[in-house]
Each structure stands twice: as structure tokens, then as C-alpha cells.
Amino acid sequence: MADLPTIAIWKFSSCDGCQLTLLDCEDELLGILGRVQIAYFPEATRAEIEGPWDVSLVEGSVTTPEEAERIKEIREKSGLVVAIGACATAGGIQALRNWANVKEFASIVYAHPEYLETLETSTPHSDHIDIDLELQGCPISKAQLVDALLAVLSGRRPNVPTSAVCVECKRRQTPCVQVLGTPCLGPVTQAGCGAICPSFARGCYGCFGPKETPNTVSLAKRWSEMGASEDQLLRAFRTFNGYKPAFREESARHGG
Amino acid sequence: MADETRTIKTDYLARVEGEGGMLIRLKGNAIEEVKLNIFEPPRFFEAFLRGRYFTEAPDITARICGICPVAYQTAAINSMESICGVKVEDQIRQLRRLLYCGEWIESHALHIYMLHAPDFLGYPSAIEIAKDAPEVVETALRLKKIGNHIMTVVGGREIHPINVKVGGFYKAPSKAELEAMVPDLEWALETSLETVKWANTLDFPDFEMDYEFAALDAGGVYPIEGGERFVSNRGLDIPIDEFYEHVVEEHVKHANALQGHLKERGSFLVGPLARYALWYDLLSDEARGAAEGVGLGKVVKNPFKSIIVRSVELVEACVEALRIIREYEQPAEPAIEVKPKAGAACGASEAPRGTLCHRYEIDANGIILDATITPPTAQNQPQIEADLRGFVGQFMDLPNEELTLRCEQAIRNYDPCISCATHFLTLEIERG
């Protein structure tokens, strides 16, 4: 028991959905738990094992001074740090504050903004520390999470695809929704979800974030030809992964 | 001894969603302070929704909570459809209810077995329960998986479903796709009935509170995916559009979640205990039978017994899912077109944890001008503090460690979602 690797699961600013993905691995969960020691996972257990830890899974973005400090401590005490989800890898939807005035934001929501301790920005962990592996997605894919855990446990490289959602559509034999007239972010979005949206006759909305070397300019041009307004393009690129550089730069080309 | 200070605290409460803690300070036998601290960082959804397009609200607000995204999507949709003056056909509404049943099954199974049961069984988590009684955890995981599967078939995926939109769905499932889930759901129904019996065998402290229970009135059915009125057992009966005229939100220093109060009446309770007390007569024969079978009264005032009531709702969700699938006919069109109309309206739904209300104002171009979101945990927060006050008053003689555990359990009775309310809990009890 004492020899099993320790895993700690940390929450930063987030919806808890990516750590819930682990509990949603209903078929694999008990098997995984037999091969690791859960050292810290407050969403699931009161028990704690002190660090250092072999692996830390980090969910959520950095939005407070406390979080900015905590991620550094976690880095120091962890063998591997894996950032999971759009918040941890791109700042998440709450990174929309990065284009706004946080004081104004706070006063819209709270009667006493002075009670809050919050940073001006919501940032991914890679802006603060070195990260060993990033799993993109809002939320992350169960299959990718299980693969990453098994890879870490057996010391192999994880299989994280770098291709576009389009490749997954082709594999599923889903007719291209964009060809049929629905704007789709699939060509610039990293695979991993299984191309769910097009299979439901909906355009991809980019929740897995930019793929490697995405040609956003060309896609935006195609959307414009299809009748998308500049506002629409701005919002499309500036949502759950809007602060990830490739999408951030593209959204800037459409105003704001 | 009389003025000795005693502090009972938990800095970071486990097995709840989000970050919070609690502080209770006693001086002699007097309770000086009870605070549910919520330090979950604010994410400012209501601020950044301004300027977004009205059809984006369901997908964006889903990200408030990974455990109950359907609740957010549905409340946002209800509000937008109300503003734009559209009403979807019954099959679409039934599909929304089916999707929502999936979320109830997933969320209730998770809470009953993996978050709440460890308190009753004396374990730090379900992981340790699995070592001694793997069948309990396997049952929980299979139930959860069935709930998740409904969300995947109807919504595209279990966390942040992609198939719902203002006006309906992107694609309606075929009858055959839904019927394929029937055998699993029949197992889930049987297992839920057993869950009610099992939950009833747990030990409950002898503790009751006199609650004002509030829930949606869904016009003759047990409230799940919506309701036009918000009602209570003490005479509150308002159209949902007047929600914010009666529920006031207060910003207290120790919580990044706004606390909800009923104007001039104080704390109230939303969630399974409230729905059950108000709408017992609307439960299915199976769910009512299960409650009667274990001698559960029509009103449950012991908050620790919420685990039994949640199990009864698990039965209800399985019965409803099976009924909807049986009666389902694939609609000709999965959605109706919704054109934006300037205006404002509230929309609500019954999240697993209780009533969730959204209010939006949009302009004629469909741009959101204002958004207000009141999750169930924000409404329950003052009531949780009131429960703790009552509980500590009654069980002050317990040693610190046990009292701390019991107080944590009293918080978990609510299945609090601090990620929703902002997000979390730390429990501290100071005695002096």
C-alpha cells in the first residue's frame, strides 16, 4: 500500500466538472483506485496524506492571490503536475474578466466588492509554473483522463491528440456541418471530445480549445463568407478558451 | 468553565462541491457565532454575461456547476423563452424533463452514496467503504452511470451537455435510442427502491427544525424542469417573475456567495425536503409507496433524513424517466426558432439541491443587458447556519471531535454546492 503512487487533486477557480470526470469514470474508478493512493481529493474524501505527492491533478484557473501562491507550493511538492480542463489550461470562461475591469465586474455582482480578494485576471497554471501535461477541454474527456493516469502510472507517454475535431468527424462518418451551412470551430479545435456537437447537427463551439497550429484566420474568413458578423466571430473565439493565445489573437482581429 | 471559549472548526469542508468552511464559537453554553465561510473565488458570471448573445446563456451558465449543468441550462432557457414569448411543444418539454431526470439520478446517487453515506457509516470517503463493502460503491457507480447515460443520449455528454438550446434541442433522439435505456432504468428503479430501505436503516440524531419549505409549483406534476410559481408551506405563492421581489440577496463578509432571505421572513429551505413536503401527493405510486414502506411521514423535518428523501426522489426520477420513454414520440422538429425580443423575465428549475432562479434582460438584438442568478445553495446558506445553531444548541455536550463531524454532516445534509453559490465551506467551532 505504502508503495503505491500518491495522487493529489486540487481545485482552483472552476465548476468542479473536471474533477467530477474522475468520479464519472464509473467503470474504471475502482481499478484506478487500486493502483494509487488518493492523497488529497476533498470533493470525495476527508482523508489527507501530506506531501510530497507523485502526481498532482490541478483543476481551475488562478484568480486570487492565494491561488497564485498555492500553485507554486503544489509545484514544489509534486513529481508531475497535470493541468486538467479549460480553466487550468486557458483560464476558462472566467478569463472574460481579462478584457474587462474587475472592479466594475465585482460591483455588478456584489454589494460590497471590498470584501473580495480577487486578481485582475484569470490565468492558466502555465503562466505561473512549469506544467508537465495539459489536458484541454470544458470538460476534459474521460478517456483522455484515464489514459493520462495509466500513462503516468506506467511511465509511458500519454496519447493526447493534436489533430482537429474534423478528424474525429471523419472517423465517425459525420457529414460536415459546415458544408451543410452551419459555422463550426471544428477545423481549429483540438480533438478529444469525439466530435459530439457535429453528431448532434451543431457546429463545434471550441470547448477543447485551439489545436496545434490552427488556421483561425482562414476559418474566420469562411465564417464571414457564410454571413457571420464580426461580433459573432469575436464571441465565438472568446468563450471557454478565449484566453488561449491562438483564440485570443483571432478574437482581437474582430474588435474589442 | 462558564465563560470558557470553545471553537469548533473545519477549515476546508470535504465531500461538498466547492470551497468553504465553518466557524462556531461558544462561550460557556452560549453560541456566540455560527458562520458558514465561503471562500470559493468569485467568477463573475452575472457580469460577463452582459454583452453576450441570448442563446449563449445556457452553455455559459452550465459552467457555473459541473455537477448540475442541466439545472443551469434549463433555467436559462426557461427565462429566455419567457422573454421571447415562445412555448415549446410538450414532447420537447418531456425531453427536457428526461434529461433532467438523468441529472437527478447522477447527482442524487453521487450524494447519497459517495458524499453523505460515509458520515453515517463512519468512513472518510466512499473509497474506504469500497474496501470493506465494494458492492455498495459498485451499486452507487452503476446508478450514477445510468443517470449519466441519459444525459449522454439526450444531451450529448454528461458534464456540460451540448444538445440543449433556447427553443428545444439541436437533435431529438429517436424512440429506439431511448428505449435502449429501459433495461438499465428498470434496474435503477429496483435499486432505488432498495436504496430507500437501506437509507432508512442509518442512524439519525434526534433533531428537527421548523422550516419554511419553498419549491416551484409545476402545475400538477412534481417540479423538476420548471414551474410558473414559487410557493412555500407558509403561504408564499408568487409568479416566478416576482422572485426577486420576495427573495433578497445579502452580501456578508464571510461569504463570496450572496445569502438569500425571504423578505421580512428570514431563512427558508429549498431542495429535496421542501419538494417532498410540498408535493408529496404528486409523487408516483412507487415513490410514495417507498416512503410509506419505511414509515417516512409526509413532511420530514429532520435534515439528517434528507438522505432518505433524496432516495425517494431517486425512485421518482427513475419512474419519470421510464414513463417519458414509454410515451415518447420523436417530434417532427427538434426545436422552434426563437427570435429575440426586448424584455426581461425570470426562469427557474429544480436543481437536485433546490430551486434555481435566473433573470435576464435582453435587447431587441438579443444582447444580454443584465443577468441575475440565484442558486439553491445561496438560498439555503442562512438556513444551514440556522440548522448548525440549533444542532449545536441541542448537542453541545458532545466532545469536540464528534461535534465537528456532526456539524459537517449537518452541512452535507444540504448537498451544498459552493461552486454554484460562488463555491465552498470550512467548519470551525470555537468554544469558550
Instruction: Look at B67 and A20 and tell me if their CB atoms are within 8 Å.
Output: yes
DSSP state of B266: B
Instruction: Look at A14 and B419 and tell me if their CB atoms are within 8 Å.
Output: yes
Question: Grid coordinates representing B328?
Answer: 415518447
Is residue A1 assigned to a domain? no
Through-space distance between the first and last CA atoms of chain B, rounded to whole angstroms: 8
Q: What is the domain-level CATH number for residue A144?
A: 3.40.50.700
Question: Which residue range is the domain that position A212 belongs to?
Answer: 165-252
Whether A63 and A181 map to the same domain: the answer is no
Whether A70 and A136 map to the same domain: the answer is yes
Tell me the per-residue pLDDT of A201-248, one tens digit each, with 9 for 90 and over: 999 999 999 999 999 999 999 999 999 999 999 999 999 999 999 999
Whether A143 and A223 map to the same domain: the answer is no
Is residue A136 assigned to a domain? yes
* Preferred mutation among B63, B119, B145 to probe A, highest tally of A CBs within 10 A: B63
Whether A226 and A140 map to the same domain: the answer is no
Alpha-carbon distance of B310 to A213, in angstroms, equals 48
Instruction: Look at A44 and B251 and tell me if their CB atoms are within 8 Å.
Output: no
Whether A123 and A230 map to the same domain: the answer is no
Nearest chain B residue (CA) to A196? B156
Give the phi and the psi of residue B292 in degrees, each rounded to 5.
-60, -40
Whether A42 and A97 map to the same domain: the answer is yes
Do residues A18 and A85 touch, judged by C-beta distance below 8 A? Answer: yes
All residues at 6 or more sequence positions from B60 whose CB lies less than 8 Å from its CB, including other chains: A93, A239, B45, B49, B52
Final residue of a domain: which of A116, A133, A154? A154
Confidence tier at A133 by pLDDT (50, 70, 90): very high
Whether A104 and A55 map to the same domain: the answer is yes
DSSP state of B237: E
Q: Structural domain tally of chain A?
A: 2
Chain B neighbors of A64, CB-CB under 8 A? 41
Chain B neighbors of A41, CB-CB under 8 A? 125
Whether A138 and A176 map to the same domain: the answer is no
Q: pTM, whole model, 2 decimals? A: 0.95
Whether A197 and A135 map to the same domain: the answer is no
Final residue of a domain: which of A131, A154, A177? A154
The answer to whether domain B5-431 has CATH 3.40.50.300 is no
Instruction: Look at A33 and B130 and tell me if their CB atoms are within 8 Å.
Output: yes
* Preferred mutation among A4, A12, A15 to probe B, highest tally of B CBs within 10 A: A15
pLDDT along chain B (432 residues), means of 10: 78 80 90 86 90 98 95 98 97 98 97 94 90 92 97 98 98 98 98 98 97 97 98 95 88 72 84 98 98 98 98 98 98 97 98 96 98 91 94 94 93 84 41 46
pLDDT at B314: 98
Final residue of a domain: which of A154, A175, A196? A154
**A33 close to B (CB below 8 A):** yes
Tell me the per-residue pLDDT of B280-325, one tens digit each, with 9 for 90 and over: 999 999 999 999 999 999 999 999 999 999 999 999 999 999 999 9
Is residue A159 assigned to a domain? no
